[in-house]
Amino acid sequence: MSAGAPSGRIRRIAVALDASPHSLQALALAAGIAAALNAELEGVFVEDTELLRLAGLPFLRELRIATLCESILDADRLQRELRAAARGVRERLERTAGELGVAWSFRVWRGDLEAEILGAALDAELFALGRIGRFAPLRRRPRPIAPKPRDSGLLVGVLYSGSAGATRALSIAVELGIRHAASLVIILQPAMSADAATLRRHVLAQLGSMREQTRLVSLEAADAAGLAATVRNLGIDLLILDEANPLLGRASLWTSLETLGCPVVIGR
């Protein structure tokens, strides 16, 4: 979370976007959070430099799913398509923000998606991220989750380790729960410095009026696969965690995004 945020107030929420359905789902959730927290929404369209570099290799071919026709992967055409996609995403962002009465901004970010996106120079206290870029399309889908009743509302998960950053993430979730009528699931992540019972006491002391709408569970296994299994089994719509959490390491983050089935919001 940015050091300049007065009293922990969330001023801006950035969301990483491309034209995939997964990032549009992240946009809708980020916009809802921005409206609930009275924050600005910043859309960041991602141009993956690794994808652009691969497009320049002469031996690569492109297979169009609609026509099953094969052609040379043209870097100039790919760049034009990315620009067109960015315009479409910007229009979607503008429309979504307008419907919710949220201030918004938009920019294009180019970099190594896998290596640099978490360190991108974003002036935002929260960063929403779903499965985007080359990680999103045509991957094996996780085990389906039973549909929720229409009136069940948003289910927000928080990965809580007891750290200062995790405590801030929990406070954001509580505020979101109060303002957005969301239910919470707190996933306890015990460490050497605090056991599950200690974490439970800390969480209960912070929940206040959200106690009745909150469920506490323990992380099934202390790795990315265990987190993904917990999130899927509970049917969580949105996961909030602190940027210092060890499960946000480069490899484990992308492993999680492949299998979580929901966007993540990272406190920065």
CATH number at residue 70: 3.40.50.12370
155-160 and 238-242 as β-strands: parallel, antiparallel, unpaired?
parallel
Same structural domain for residues 126 and 19?
yes
Are both 71 and 128 inside the same structural domain? yes
The candidate with the shortest Cα–Cα distance to 166, out of 217, 238, 240, 115, is 240
Q: What CATH number does residue 204 fall under?
A: 3.40.50.620
Domain end among 105, 135, 165? 135
Is the pTM for the entire model greater than 0.85? no
Q: What pLDDT, in 10s, does the model give residues 114-128?
A: 666 777 667 788 999
Residue 140 has pLDDT above 60, yes or no: no
216 CB-contact burial (10 Å; exposed 0-12 / middle 13-18 / buried 19+): middle
Q: What is the pLDDT of residues 209-233, one digit of tens each?
A: 899 999 999 887 777 778 888 888 8
pLDDT band at 142 (very low <50, low <70, confident <90, very high): very low
Note whether 167 and 124 are same-domain residues.
no
CB atoms within 10 A of CB 60: 11
pLDDT tens digits, residue range 92-114?
A: 999 999 999 999 999 998 877 76
Q: Could you tell me the pLDDT band of residue 68, with boundaries at 50, 70 and 90?
A: low
Query: Do both 89 and 116 map to the same domain?
Result: yes
1 lies in a domain? no
Which residue range forms the structural domain that includes residue 94?
11-135
CA distances from 145 to 28, 38, 39, 240 (A): 20, 31, 31, 20
pLDDT for position 59: 54
pLDDT (0 to 100) of residue 154: 86
Whether 4 is covered by a domain: the verdict is no
Q: How many domains does the chain have?
A: 2
> Is the CA virtual torsion 188, 191, 196, 199 positive or negative?
negative
Specify whether the CB–CB gap between 225 and 201 falls below 8 A.
no
Does 171 lie in the same domain as 130?
Answer: no
Q: What is the rounded CA–CA span in Å between residue 45 and residue 37?
A: 23
At 5, the pLDDT band (50, 70, 90 cuts) reads very low
> Model confidence at 262, in pLDDT bands (50, 70, 90)?
confident
* Euclidean distance between CA atoms 85 and 89, whole angstroms: 6
Residues 235, 130 within the same domain: no
pLDDT-based confidence at residue 138 (cuts at 50, 70, 90)? very low
d(Cα 31, Cα 39) in Å, to the nearest integer? 9
